[in-house]
A and B are shown apart, each in its own frame.
Chain A
């Protein structure tokens, strides 16, 4: 049964992406699940998530389109869906690297 508040389970980045249209290549997401229902991995897969890995109540994977995103976020076992965000190396800047002079 679809959850009417599925958009509330997306983070603001997901809602923004949805408003602008998902890229053709899809997006990577992090999903937090609760204990409801059996075998969350199977539920997520059936909703369209290509599950890469699970770490406790967190699943990471890839979603290809808006339909799958809605199906995923509508699952009762899904607490939240966060769009994967870029990480940056922690050197202060290129000036803190030694390049050939």
Chain B
């Protein structure tokens, strides 16, 4: 039991012969180890649960002193953190106390830098044998580009750690292996780094600096800073795709799909697992995983050895989501403010179940209230001009949008004959003509936010609904979506340990828990692209904030787990990370729709990965209303089902039946459900306390059952 409480660095120290402790401590950068002829005293931090029925701080102080810990400081909080010195051979006795939850080696601090790596517990994995640093694993970065010459993306011999770089914006090389843009191989990059002028000109750079920063967090080796700003998985190799941006945006959905396919193909060629990072998103879609972008991501994430990680989005403070319920015969209104500025077009999407007949109308600022014939019913489109000469198009033609059985109505506002979209308060009217459920959601699409977001339209404060703001493709079912918390507060930030105010909240529109986890995203020191013009924080590094910075912490963590088992699937990595997540401080409210399952804890995740056994499902048969399957370990299971296959694919089951008997042979009978065709997927849960889960969805096709 005490072994799980003990920092691996201390365990490693315990295993050393007398006389070797001091050298080992220096190698692991421990803060202070005092060695005498008989005793080895070590500086430690102890995390202590409060002792019931006592004056806690004093009680902890007294008990630790009795156990031989020389206390230097005690910090009271939800838990008590004690700093002090303890003899190496006294540690087991200390850890035997059930109210002591963890003993960590005090390590040298570097002027309070590099806080995020320490916070997620990755440093011991990188320094204590057997180290886990991402060897033989690829990290894929889909972003704006990379400063490939940065030392943190180079090996000690100066050659590149980047195996492939696809610059989608570059002029196409005739006969090249990519359908547009240009691919550079490691050999091209090595030559460019070694020779001036290079034999193959590599004109690529990263003027935004975003991709370089993201790559540094996931995989930078800290070579520029002697390890001070080392990323999560420093021994990985990289595959980079630089999307073609237009200044305001960072690529587009089709090029992101192409990028992920390309990375997976290159990983396959190299025979390596890969963790892919996407730190970009959009609001155009139903936020239920139904967009083609998300379906493509889910298709890739089904394969073993491929993990896709996505930033949750920074939409929380932008008031881009409204929701509500329309009663039969009533009209519900939602209002948003347009600043005008130079905005040429604004787009909103309204989604509701096609079982409902909700008619929509749009009222411009100062315009008369819409009349009955101004409303657009599902299946129809209307275009009209406002009194200020703006053009409004309401397209509610999609009554089974992307096969979801939902209505997708898109409202386009454009300047029309006017110079710009009219500033002021606009109103969306939702009239309930025929209502079964009545629920609806509305999102405002993003605009460029370079000028502090002045162009971004926002719902009024009362109409703003703070949930369901995860940016797409973060609402894809299989992708791992990451929220942000603070590890380095700056002016205006919440205190360290709290959720970033900008971090988007879940769930998906179909109620899937999103984000799955939170990681440090405010403020993070990582690799600086010299072409970006960003201010250096330290030579070669800069600070950035955003869920863009949180996601690559998880991407790097996923790469470490893939080193443990290259066959892990995205869903399995997701389970490992979620079940090992910390819930300290502000994250004590987890699991919820902002933190997911809590804060990333890589050390625990790796420990779990080393021992986990996921069930395997085999011999699935469907016979009438009965579905049967086998598992390879003693486990129990369930069948989830829906009459609508696409909804089930997106995580919206209409019901489930459970096989309660532990065993290797299972069956579930759907007899008794209303007559009709059903689609099902099987879940198997191990009988261990963790209930590790495997899902068999018939490779995305789902099992078909017919209930007479």
Contact = CB atoms under 8 A, between A and B. Distances in A.
A16 B261 contact: no
A31 B292 contact: yes
Contacts of B535: 98-101
Contacts of B243: 87
A54 to B, nearest CB: 7
Contact of B398 (A11, A32, A52, A97): A11
A8 B397 contact: yes
A96 B260 contact: no
Contacts of B144: 89
Given A88-B448, A94-B452, A30 B544 contact: no
Contacts of A25: none
B544 A98 contact: yes
Nearest to A28: B254
A29 B543 CA distance: 36
B257 A60 contact: yes
A52 B281 contact: no
A53 B546 CA distance: 30
A58 B299 contact: yes
Identify which of A12, A56, A96 gathers the most chain B CB atoms within 10 Å of its CB: A12
B252 A28 contact: yes
B253 A53 contact: no
Most B CB within 10 A of own CB, among A11, A84, A86, A88: A88
A57 B279 contact: no
Contact of A80 (B257, B299, B402, B551): B402
A49 to B, nearest CB: 11
Nearest to B257: A60
B542 A98 contact: yes
Interface in A16-61: 16, 19, 28-32, 50-58, 60-61
Q: Is the interface of B mostly helix, strand, loop or mixed?
A: mixed
B150 interface: no
Given A89-B208, A92-B546, A12 B533 contact: no
Interface residues of B, number: 76
B258 to A, nearest CB: 5
Given A28-B254, A60-B254, A82-B291, A89 B280 contact: yes
Contacts of B453: 93
Given A87-B280, A90-B471, A93-B453, A28 B255 contact: yes
Given A95-B452, A98-B542, A99-B535, A90 B314 contact: yes
Interface string B225-252: 0000000000000000001001011111
Given A28-B255, A89-B280, A12 B544 contact: no
A32 B481 CA distance: 24
Range class of the A interface residue count: 35 or more
A21 to B, nearest CB: 14
B440 interface: no
B381 interface: yes
B533 A53 contact: no
Contact of B395 (A15, A88, A89, A99): A15
A57 B179 CA distance: 19
B546 A91 contact: yes
Given A85-B282, A99-B534, A101-B535, A16 B412 contact: yes
A86 B502 contact: no
Contacts of B254: 28-30, 52, 60-61, 84
Contacts of B397: 7-8, 12, 15
Given A8-B398, A90-B281, 16 more contacts: A15-B397, A30-B254, A30-B292, A32-B402, A53-B179, A56-B295, A57-B299, A80-B403, A86-B253, A89-B250, A89-B279, A90-B314, A91-B545, A93-B453, A94-B449, A100-B533
27 contacts: A7-B397, A12-B398, A12-B409, A13-B410, A16-B395, A28-B254, A30-B257, A30-B296, A32-B295, A52-B179, A54-B261, A55-B300, A58-B299, A60-B257, A84-B252, A87-B250, A87-B253, A89-B250, A89-B279, A90-B280, A90-B313, A90-B546, A92-B545, A93-B452, A94-B451, A95-B452, A97-B534
Interface of B: 143-144, 179-180, 208-210, 243, 246, 248-258, 260-262, 279-282, 284, 291-293, 295-296, 299-300, 311-314, 317, 381, 383, 393, 395, 397-398, 401-403, 408-410, 412, 446, 448-453, 471, 502, 533-535, 537, 542-549, 551, 700
Interface of A: 7-8, 11-13, 15-16, 19, 28-32, 50-58, 60-61, 79-80, 82, 84-101
